[in-house]
Structure 1
Amino acid sequence: MQPLIQKIHIEQDSSFACRTYRTPNFETNWHMHEEYELILITEGNGTALIGDYVGNYNTGDIFFLSGNLPHWFRKAHHKMIGSAIVVHFTKQFWGETFLSLPELKTINQLLTGPNNGIQLNKNLRAKIAKDLIALEKLTGFNSITQLLQSLYSISTSKEITIITSNFSLTSSSKENSVIEKIFEYSLKNYLKHITLEEVAALAEMSIPTFCRFFKKNIKKSYFDFLQELRIGHACKLLQASNDNIIDICYNSGYNSWAHFSKQFKKIKQVTPSQYRKQFKAIA
C-alpha cells in the first residue's frame, strides 16, 4: 500500500515546523511524509495505526515517528474534537555533518536506527509535553536548542516503548484506496462478526489474494489486525469502567471467554485482570 503522501508546510524563516492541528485539520487518513514527527495529543482519543502497530491513543500521549512511516490517528467518534501539537523536521535541516558530532551520537542513532515508531512513557512523557508546549511559542535560535534538547532526552531515556521497527512499504499507489476501504470498514465494524469473505469482497479480491495483499502491506494477518482492534477496545473498557471482565469480553467482539483471555494475554503479555490492576495502580 502506498499511503497518501502529505506535504508539510514549513515557514520561510524556519527550518522545521511546530504547530497545533485541531479539528478539522487534525483529521487525516492513512498518510506519510518524509519528515520526522513528534506528536503530543492534546485533545481526544481513539485508535493509532502506525506502520504495523495498532493501539489506543489518549490525551497526553506522545509518539515519535521516523520519516516515511505511514500513520493514522483515528478518533473514537467522528464528533469528537481531536487536537495535537506536532513537530515536523527532516534529518538534513541541521546540515550534512552536524549529527556526526560525537556529542550527538545518541540523537543520530535515534534518527537512523531501526526503531521507526516510539511511544514516550512516564517522566519522559511529562517532560517532553512541557517542551513541546513551550516549543510552539519559540522562534529562532531558542526553538532549535529546545528541539535538540527534546531529541536528546528521548534518545537517552529508557522510558520509551518501541511500537514498530524496520517497517517498510512494498506496494504501489493504486492500492491506497483499497486499504483505506478495509481500514474504514474494520474500524466501524470490528465489534461485530467479520469474515474473510466480507473483507475480500470489499477489496474485490479472492480470499487467498486478499490475505497475501494484507500481510504484505501491514506485516500481519487480517485477523491479527482485527484482534488488536478488539483487545484495544477491551483495554479502554478495563481502564474506564468497573464492569465485569466477562461482560467486557462479550462487549469487545468476542463470544468465547477462553479465546478472549488467550488473545488478551498474547497481545498484552498479562491477563485482563492483571492489566486492570496495573492500570489502577498507575492511575
Structure 2
Amino acid sequence: MNHPNIIKEITPLTQNDCFTMFSRVKKEFNFPLHYHDEYELNLIINAKGAKRIIGDHIEVIEDMELVLVGPNLPHAWFTHECTSQNITEVTVQWHKDLLDDKFLKRNQLSFIRKMFERSSKGISFSKEAVTAIAPRILSLNKKSGFDSVISLMLILHDLSTSRSMYTLSDTGFTNDLVVTYNSRRLDKAFEYMNNNYDKAIVLKDVAKLVNMTEVSFSRFIKKRTGFTFIDSLNEIRLGHASRMLIDSTHSIAEISYNCGFNNISNFNRIFKKKKNCTPSEFRQNFSGTRIFV
C-alpha cells in the first residue's frame, strides 16, 4: 500500500515491547495524515470541533472519543474548529502480531478477533463505552510489566463486547482489507464485487455465482452483513472512488465511470449521502494534507 500523499510513520514501538503508550496535552493537532504497521487505540478528550480522518471517512468530533485504527489505515486528527487549550490525546500502539492468528481463532478470543478484523476500516466506540473505558486507559501508564499487558487485554476484550461500535472507512479503500464472514458464499460474492466493481454487476449474476436464488441471496447478505446487496456494492465502489480521488488526478466524471456508477449525478448523490460531502469537497480535504517523502 503506497499513498503518494500520506506519510508512513515509523512508530517508537520496539520489537521487544508488547505495546507503547504516550499521553499528551496540547492546543492543536499538527501531525499529518499517516499510517503505520501497528494497531492504534486513540483516546481524545476536550477536542470538540476537531476533524478526524480515518481511511476515507471524515467527521467532526465531539468532546470525547475513542477510535481503534487497524494496521496501515491512513488516519489523522486536525484542529479544524476546535478551540480547546487542553486537548488530551492518549495513544496506545501494539504490534499486529502481538496476538497471533492461531491464538485469535480460539473461541474465547472470537470477539477480539472480530473487532481486529473490523478495525481494518477503523472503529469508533459509543459514548457509553468511552466513558466506561477512558479511566482504565488513562491509568494504563501507572502499571508496568505483565500487569500492564493484562490490563490492555482486558480493555480490548471489554471494548470488543461493547455495544454500538461502528466502522468508519468504506470497503475497497484499503487494499489489504481481509474481512471474512465465516461463509464461503459471502467471501466469494465480495471477492467478485471487489474484482469487478468497475463493470455492471447485477444481483442475478452474483446469486448465480454462489448457487442461490436472488431472493435467498438478498436475505442472506442482509442477515449476515446488515447491508442490502446494493448497499454492499455501493460501499465497495465508493471505497475505490475515494481512493482514486486521493491518489489520482482523474476528473470526478472519470472516477464515477471507472467505479461502475452509471452516471455522475447518481455518483454525487450516493457519495454525498454516505460521506456528508461532495466528491470534490472530499478531494479538497485530503489535498490540504499532502506530504511528499
Shorter-chain-normalised TM-score: which range?
A: 0.5 to 0.7
SS of 2:142's equivalent?
coil
Aligned to 2:69: 65
Aligned to 2:193: none
- Give the gaps of 5 or more residues in structure 2: 176-244, 261-266, 279-293
Matching of residues 137-156 of structure 1 within 5 Å? 137-156=142-161
Q: Cα–Cα, structure 1 residues 96 and 119, in superposed 2: closer, same or farther, change >3 Å?
A: closer
TM-score, normalised to structure 2, is 0.55
Q: Would you say 1:228 and 2:270 are equivalent positions?
A: no
Aligned to 1:93: 98
Aligned to 2:167: 162
Farther off after superposition, 4-13 or 39-48: 4-13
Q: Cα–Cα, structure 1 residues 27 and 156, in superposed 2: closer, same or farther, change >3 Å?
A: same
Q: Cα–Cα, structure 1 residues 169 and 160, in superposed 2: closer, same or farther, change >3 Å?
A: closer
Q: Shift of the alpha carbon at 1:151?
A: 1.0
Aligned to 1:5: 8
Q: Shift of the alpha carbon at 1:95?
A: 4.5
Aligned partners of 2:42 and 2:163: how far apart in 1? 19
Q: Pairwise CA RMSD of aligned residues?
A: 3.6
Aligned partners of 1:225 and 1:212: how far apart in 2? 18
SS of 1:92's equivalent?
coil
Aligned partners of 1:142 and 1:112: how far apart in 2? 26
Aligned partners of 1:212 and 1:79: how far apart in 2? 41
Which of 83, 88, 91 in structure 2 is aligned with 1:83?
Answer: 88
- Give the gaps of 5 or more residues in structure 1: 171-199, 231-283
Q: Cα–Cα, structure 1 residues 98 and 214, in superposed 2: closer, same or farther, change >3 Å?
A: same
Which of 17, 20, 44 in structure 2 is aligned with 1:17?
Answer: 20
Aligned partners of 2:105 and 2:249: how far apart in 1? 49
Equivalent residues of 1:60, 1:129 under 8 A apart: no
Q: Cα–Cα, structure 1 residues 33 and 84, in superposed 2: closer, same or farther, change >3 Å?
A: same
Aligned partners of 2:58 and 2:14: how far apart in 1? 33
Q: Would you say 1:50 and 2:54 are equivalent positions?
A: yes
How many corresponding residue pairs? 196
Aligned to 1:111: 116
Q: Shift of the alpha carbon at 1:209?
A: 5.1
Amino acid aligned to 1:97: K
Aligned residues with identical type, % of pairs: 22
Q: Shift of the alpha carbon at 1:40?
A: 0.6
Aligned partners of 2:250 and 2:33: how far apart in 1? 21
Amino acid aligned to 2:47: G
Q: Shift of the alpha carbon at 1:132?
A: 0.7
Aligned partners of 1:32 and 1:102: how far apart in 2? 30
Q: Which runs of 4+ in 1 moved over 6 A?
A: 210-215
Aligned partners of 2:14 and 2:162: how far apart in 1? 31
